[in-house]
Amino acid sequence: MQQLIDQEEKLDFQSETYKDAYSRINAIVIEGEQEAYENYIRLAQMLPAHEDELIRLSKMESRHKKGFEACGRNLQVTPDLQFAKEFFAGLHGNFQAAAAEGKVVTCLLIQSLIIECFAIAAYNIYIPVADDFARKITEGVVKDEYSHLNFGEVWLKEHFAESKTELEEANRQNLPIVWQMLNQVAADAQVLAMEKEALVEDFMIQYGEALSNIGFSTRDIMRLSAYGLAT
C-alpha cells in the first residue's frame, strides 16, 4: 500500500513521459470503444431477437468513446489513432471474418468476453492511478462494461451445448492475440503506473469467471484461460 501511495505521488500527468504514453493508451481505449460500438451494431443484425438490447449496448460504447476523448483533451494529449488501429487489427480482422461467416458464437467470444474482460481489467487497474477527471469517467464506464460482459455470458450459457466447440476454437485463435496486445502495451501502461502482472491477473479472473458462468468446468477453464500465455 505504501508503495502504491509513493508511486501515485510521483505521477506527473503533465510530464512529457506521461503524455507520450497516454497518447497511445488513450488512443487504444478510444479506438476500442469505437470498434465495440460497431461490433454491437453488427451483433444486433446477427441476433434480431436481441436487436434493441444490442443497439442500446452500442450506444453505451459510443458514449464511452466520447468520455475517453475528453480525458485526452483534459491532459492536452493527441491520441495516436493509427497506432491504436494496428493494435486492434488482429481481433478486428477475426471479428469481421467471423461475422461474414455468420459465426455469432465467435463474434460474442471476441467482443463480449475477450474484449470486455480486457476492458474491465484495464479500467479496474487504471482507476486508482488515474487523474481525477479520468477516474470519474472510467468509474462510470467500467460499470457498463460488466453489463456488456453479462450479455455475452447469458446468451452463451443458454446456447452452451451447441456453442462449446466453436468457443474452444475461437478461444484458441484469439486469446494468444490478447497476450500479444498486453505485451505491446506493457511499457506504456507502466508509465501510467499500471502493472502488467496486475492486468494479466485481473483479466484471468474476469475471463475465468465468465467461462464458469457460461458452463465450462474448472478443468476446461484452466486450459482455456491460459492458452497462449506461456510463450
Is residue 119 near ligand Y39 by the rule CB under 6 A? yes
Closest contact distance (angstroms) between CB of 194 and ligand Y39 is 6
Per-residue buried b or exposed e for 193-210, using 16+ beta carbons within 10 Å of the residue's own CB: bbeeeebbebbbebbbeb
Handedness of CA 68, 27, 16, 142 (dihedral sign): positive
Question: Which of Fe ion, ligand Y39, none sits in contact with 25, Cβ below 5 to 8 A by type?
Answer: ligand Y39
Name the residue among 10, 1, 28 with its Cα closest to residue 189: 28
Helix (H, G, I), strand (E, B) or coil at 195: coil
Which DSSP string do the residues of 136-153 spell out, in sequence order? HHHHHHHHHHHHHHHHHH
167 versus 199: smaller Cβ distance to ligand Y39: 199
Question: Which of ligand Y39, Fe ion, none sits in contact with 80, Cβ below 5 to 8 A by type?
Answer: none
Is residue 148 near ligand Y39 by the rule CB under 6 A? yes
Is residue 110 near ligand Y39 by the rule CB under 6 A? no
Binding-site ranges for Fe ion (CB under 5 A): 33, 36, 61, 64, 145, 148, 209
Closest contact distance (angstroms) between CB of 41 and Fe ion is 13
- Residue 12: what are its φ and ψ, rounded to 5°? -115, 100
- Which residues of this chain interact with ligand Y39, rule CB under 6 A? 25, 28-29, 32-33, 36, 61, 64, 115-116, 118-119, 122, 145, 148, 185, 189, 194, 199
